[in-house]
Amino acid sequence: MLKAVFFDLDGTLLPMDENLFVKGYFKMLYEKVKDLGYKQDELINMIYAGIKAMYKNDGSKTNEEAFWAQAVKMMGPKVIEDKWAFDEFYKTEFYNTKKLCGYSDEPRKIIDYLHEKGILVALTTNPIFPYDGTKARMSFLNLLPSDFSLVTTYENSSYCKPNPKYFDDILIRLGLKPNEVILFGNNTKEDGDCASALGIKVYLVDGYIIDDPSANGKYEKINMEDIIGVINKHIKN
DSSP assigned state of 181:
E
pLDDT given at position 236: 81
pLDDT given at position 7: 98
Q: Could you report how far apart the first and last alpha carbons of the chain are, in Å?
A: 7
pLDDT given at position 213: 97
Q: β-pairing, 4-7 with 150-151?
A: unpaired
| Total-model pTM | 0.97
- Alpha-carbon distance of 199 to 205, in angstroms, equals 19
Q: Is 215 helix (H, G, I), strand (E, B) or coil?
A: coil
Which string of DSSP letters, residue by residue, matches 115-140? Answer: HHHT-EEEE---S-S-HHHHHHHHHT
Q: pLDDT of the chain along its 237 residues, tens only?
A: 999 999 999 999 999 999 999 999 999 999 999 999 999 999 999 999 999 999 999 999 999 999 999 999 999 999 999 999 999 999 999 999 999 999 999 999 999 999 999 999 999 999 999 999 999 999 999 999 999 999 999 999 999 999 999 999 999 999 999 999 999 999 999 999 999 999 999 999 999 999 999 999 999 999 999 999 999 999 987
Q: β-pairing, 181-185 with 150-151?
A: unpaired
Report the candidate in 155, 107, 146 with the shortest Cα–Cα distance to residue 10.
107
pLDDT given at position 118: 97
pLDDT given at position 237: 76
